[in-house]
Amino acid sequence: MEKRVRFRSTWLPWVLVAPQLAVVLTFFFWPAGQALIQSVLQQDAFGTTTEYVGLENFKRLWNDSTYLESFKVTALFSLLVAVIGLSVSLLLAVMADRVIKGAGIYKTLLIWPYAVAPVVAGVLWLFMFATPFGTVSFVLNRMGFEWNHLLNSNHAMALIVMAAVWKQISYNFLFFLAGLQSIPKSLIEAAAIDGAGFWLRFRTIVFPLLSPTTFFLLVINIVYAFFDTFAIVDAATQGGPGKSTAILVYKVYYDGFKALDMGGSAAQSVVLMTIVIALTVVQFRYVEKKVQY
């Protein structure tokens, strides 16, 4: 029987949720509302005059080839971060779940990257791949592979993808490991007794039971790739070379704070917010049907 908590006072529940409501209103709804208002205004570079322009800021976006190109860059970046991040995290979680001796140390080391700030993660990977004296780039050059993310757009994309995946691996790892440990061992043992090998057990039993966790992490990783990777891109490549790594969230910052186009930047943030909401709705509407609870 389900047990429900009932409050005799009508105001006590509101008092209990008031701190969280204040945080959501202050840091989510208020900025979103400000962006919606700013997106229909045009302000001069010095901020002295403001003019209502309606949808003119949005019309200029669709005529901007660099902005349209940033959609392709963001789509590629988000796909790589989500797929690689989830795959590597699942592999590490499966390996950690099978470790017996020293399991605590192994799991602790895999959790550490989550404590690193995104900008620090970007700088760390930049130092390792800095041309020509970075540790990894030096080894690659000695092996005959000329690494230069300052000139090669593919190298720059690879750099920010690796940094973003490394930063998010710990988060994914924790959820996958918890999901693996919640699977009844009796199911695995019964399949092993029937002669099913490791990969057959994983494909037919383990992974289907992990589908709720995988679905949740898919949503989180896509949102992370769209919003929380700004600091990594800014620290590692600053959108370069050219605009080859200028994802949507970085372009919002660049156009607003460097190009001083506040109206266009606000319009971009509204478009970005709409895209993320739409992707989340699509995932819950269609992808969740494949999830086995």
Quote the CA–CA distance of 109 and 241 in Å, as a whole number.
Answer: 33
What would the mean pLDDT of 70-78 be, rounded to a whole number?
Answer: 94
Amino acid letter for position 155:
H
pLDDT at residue 10, as a whole number: 81
Query: What pLDDT band is residue 290 in, cutting at 50, 70 and 90?
Result: low
pLDDT at residue 23, as a whole number: 94
Quote the CA–CA distance of 230 and 225 in Å, as a whole number.
Answer: 9
pLDDT at residue 285, as a whole number: 80
- Report whether 166 contacts 115 (CB < 8 A): no
Closest residue by Cα to residue 61 from 222, 266, 285: 266
Cis link prior to 241 (omega < 30° from 0)? yes
What would the mean pLDDT of 157-186 be, rounded to a whole number?
Answer: 93
Amino acid letter for position 30:
W
Q: Rounded to two decimals, what is the model's pTM?
A: 0.87
Beta bridge partners of 50: 43
Quote the CA–CA distance of 89 and 176 in Å, as a whole number.
Answer: 7
pLDDT at residue 288, as a whole number: 65
pLDDT, tens digit, 9 for 90 and up, residues 148-161: 999 999 999 999 99
Number of continuous H segments (helices) and E segments (strands) in the chain: 15, 2
pLDDT at residue 119, as a whole number: 92
pLDDT at residue 121, as a whole number: 93
pLDDT at residue 291, as a whole number: 66
- Burial level of 120, CB count in 10 A (0-12/13-18/19+)? middle
pLDDT, tens digit, 9 for 90 and up, residues 222-273: 989 998 999 999 999 999 898 899 999 999 999 888 888 888 999 999 999 8
What would the mean pLDDT of 165-170 be, rounded to a whole number?
Answer: 94
- Report whether 156 contacts 73 (CB < 8 A): no
pLDDT at residue 69, as a whole number: 92
What are the backbone angles phi and psi of residue 215, rounded to the nearest 5°? -65, -45
- Report whether 169 contacts 241 (CB < 8 A): no
Question: What 3-state class would DSSP assign to 261?
Answer: coil
The yes-or-no verdict on residue 100 having pLDDT over 90 is: no
Half-sphere exposure of 53 (CA within 13 A, CB side): 21
Beta bridge partners of 41: 52
The token pair that represents 70 in the structure block: 């940033």
pLDDT, tens digit, 9 for 90 and up, residues 7-64: 677 888 888 899 999 999 998 889 889 989 999 988 776 767 888 888 899 999 888 8
Residue corresponding to tokens 């400000």: 34
